[in-house]
Amino acid sequence: MKSAKRLNPLDWTFLAGESGETMMMVGALLPFSPPPDAEASLLRRLMDEVRADARAQAPWNFKLKYPNQLAHPLQGWVEDDHFDVEYHIRRSALPSPGDERELGILVSRLHSNRLDFHRPPWEVHFIEGLEGGRFAIYFKVHHALVDGYTGIKLLSMSLSSTPDERDTPMFFSIAQKPRAPKADNEAPKEATLDLLLRLAREQVDTSQMITRALRDTVIGAWKPEKARDPALKAPMQAPKSILNQKISRNRRFATQQFALDRLKRVAKAHGGTLNDLVLALCAAALRRLLTELDALPAEPLTAMLPVNVRPKDDPGGGNAVGAIIASLATDIADPQARFHAIVASTAAAKAQLAGMTRNGILQYGALLMAPLLLARVPGTVGRIRPAFNLVISNVPGPTKPLYFRGFKLDAYYPLSIPMHGYGLNITVVSYGDQLNFGFIGCRDGLPHLQRLAVYSKAALDELDDEATA
């Protein structure tokens, strides 16, 4: 058993947060449409191929060094010398012909089961039986092994840009390209002492920026109402809601898909960004559902928004995200006024990150997420204000149509992490000319979660009508 790599603090946090109800794994549902010459026995042949070539490349061959003590202070990844590919790659089937509702039910159940930490913590399910000769791939992986950015990047390596390519290898068997070593003439020219002094100055500057940001948010939130910026939201400023209770292990999953061109046109017409519109659609759907359940708080719901800080050439692995908190303005009935309030809130939050270094954004994000640990203290969930009400993530995905063994990828639906005190998570992933929404929540704590997908479409229609009126 070879040593592979240590965990960074954020990776360790995802393991420390693992429990029977809060399973810290992310996933994806990828439905595919068949080509005219589709092979009926593709999945059976694919499983034979997988068994014949059972090797796994990093990070897919990493398992935990201490699987029985997830929060071990010396926890790390080691190579699995007894990798069992048939455990990780599985076939599932719907009663044929299966529809989208039945597919959602199956994926909800699959995402309700924990990963085995004595093995590399990931699984892939090939789901056959969909009507029209379609099939789907459901994939899940623990967030400590890879984040959403890395998962999409590595999973996409098994897909091709043309339907004519029929032998693309499975993602877990593809070796990552190592970073090119720096040439001698690119070596740092600073003397060691000068370099250390510069790094120390950068850390001091980072600490000062974080202190100012926390003063503006956490301390500023408790100023008299007239003296604070109402658009700037802080941890623990969110209202109590049915989203912020203890959860069970059971999950409910729903999806929605929108044309990117339409979203960008509507966002621009209302004076905001695509991300602002995503928040506005989620806010409208939540306001409508919680109103129907007679559970809408008088104060606006707030969302934690992860911020990716990886450089474009980063190969991925582990976690590298910051965070901001924004208002969803769910206390405002008028859709346009609600949208403008969201724009103001995200602008105020992003202004705090301006000028911060990458390390500073990571540290500031960790501080904003620190109140999540309170949810692990017995008796706190539902009794104190949550740090925020839910997480909404926007992850860039493939920009061009992709194929798997000739089958066209129709959508890329993400699944993320509900946890105690935060029973709903919404993630969106772009794919080609579409934006795909994945709504994942506690089946027992949030009734009628599927309505969020329907109501988000109605919210877009409403804003679109107002933009063209």
Mean pLDDT of the region 19-31? 93
What pLDDT band is residue 323 in, cutting at 50, 70 and 90?
A: confident
Task: Name the domain boundary from 155, 173, 191.
Answer: 173
Indicate the burial class of 324 (C-beta count within 10 angstroms; 0-12, 13-18, 19 or more): buried
**Confidence class for position 234, pLDDT limits 50, 70, 90:** low
Residue 171: predicted pLDDT: 86
Is residue 143 part of the annotated active site? The answer reads yes
The answer to whether the bond into 97 is cis (omega within 30° of 0) is yes
The boundaries of the domain holding residue 117 are 3-173
Whats the size of the chain, residue-wise?
469
Helix then strand then coil, in percent of the chain rounded to 5, is 35, 25, 40
* Euclidean distance between CA atoms 208 and 198, whole angstroms: 15
Give 392's pLDDT tier (boundaries 50, 70, 90): very high
Q: What is the pLDDT of residue 172?
A: 87
Report the C-alpha gap between 320 and 342 in whole angstroms. Answer: 25
Read off the pLDDT of each residue in 320-338 and give the average, rounded to a whole number. Answer: 88
Considering its fold, how many domains does the chain have in total? 2
CB-based contact 234:218 (threshold 8 Å): yes
Shared-domain flag, residues 257 and 150: no
- Domain identity same for 161 and 238: no
pLDDT of residue 306 exceeding 70, the answer is yes
**pLDDT at 11 (0 to 100):** 85
Q: What is the CA radius of gyration of the chain?
A: 23
Residues 431 and 351 in one domain: yes
Do both 134 and 210 map to the same domain?
no
- Judge if 151 and 223 occupy the same domain: no
Provide the 3-class DSSP secondary structure of residue 55.
coil
Q: Is residue 408 part of a domain?
A: no
Residues 162 and 261 grouped into a single domain: no
Query: What per-residue confidence (pLDDT) applies to 334?
Result: 97
Does residue 337 lie within any of the structural domains?
Answer: yes
Nearest to 127 by CA among 28, 23, 26: 28
Would 142 be classed as within a structural domain?
A: yes
Pairing between strand 25-33 and 135-142? antiparallel
Give the per-residue pLDDT at 308.
60
In the structure, what pLDDT confidence band is assigned to residue 372 with cuts at 50, 70 and 90? low
Structure tokens belonging to residue 178: 């190592």
For residues 154 and 261, membership in a common domain is answered with: no
Q: Residue 427, by phi and psi: left (phi above 0), alpha (psi -120 to 50) or beta?
A: beta
Residue 222: band (very low, low, confident or very high) from pLDDT cuts 50, 70, 90? very low
CA distance 240 to 388: 9
In a domain, 114, yes or no: yes
Give me the catalytic one of 88, 111, 125, 143: 143
Domain shared by 36 and 94, yes or no:
yes
Cis peptide before 178 (omega within 30 of 0): no
Across residues 159-178, what is the average pLDDT? 85
State which of 114, 149, 173 marks the end of a domain. 173
Q: How many CB atoms lie within 10 A of CB 54?
A: 14
pLDDT in tens, 52-70: 877 888 899 999 999 999 9
The answer to whether position 199 is within a domain reads no
Residue 183 lies in a domain: no
Residues 285 and 426 reside in one and the same domain: yes
Residues 150 and 210 in one domain: no
Round to whole Å and give the CA distance between 419 and 462: 32
Position with higher pLDDT, 239 vs 307: 239
358: which 2 tokens?
Answer: 């990458």
Q: Please report the pLDDT score of residue 301 as a whole number.
A: 97
What gap in Å lies between CA 252 and CA 109, rounded to an integer? Answer: 8
Which CATH number characterizes residue 349's domain?
3.30.559.30
Contact 69, 75 (CB under 8 A): yes
The last residue of one of the domains, among 149, 173, 197, is: 173
CA dihedral 13, 15, 18, 22 (to 10 degrees): 60
Residue 411 lies in a domain: no
CATH number at residue 51: 3.30.559.10
- Give the tens place of pLDDT for each residue, 108-127: 999 999 999 999 999 999 99
Instruction: Report the pLDDT value the prediction gives residue 147, as an integer from 0 to 100.
Output: 79
Q: Quick one: average pLDDT of 72-88?
A: 92
**Whether residues 123 and 232 fall in one domain:** no
338 pLDDT above the threshold of 50 = yes
The DSSP code for 400 is S
Which residues have a Cβ under 8 Å from the Cβ of 68 and sit 6 or more positions away? 117
Is 117 among the domain residues?
yes
Kindly state whether residues 314 and 362 are assigned to the same domain.
yes
Q: Is the pLDDT of residue 409 over 70?
A: yes
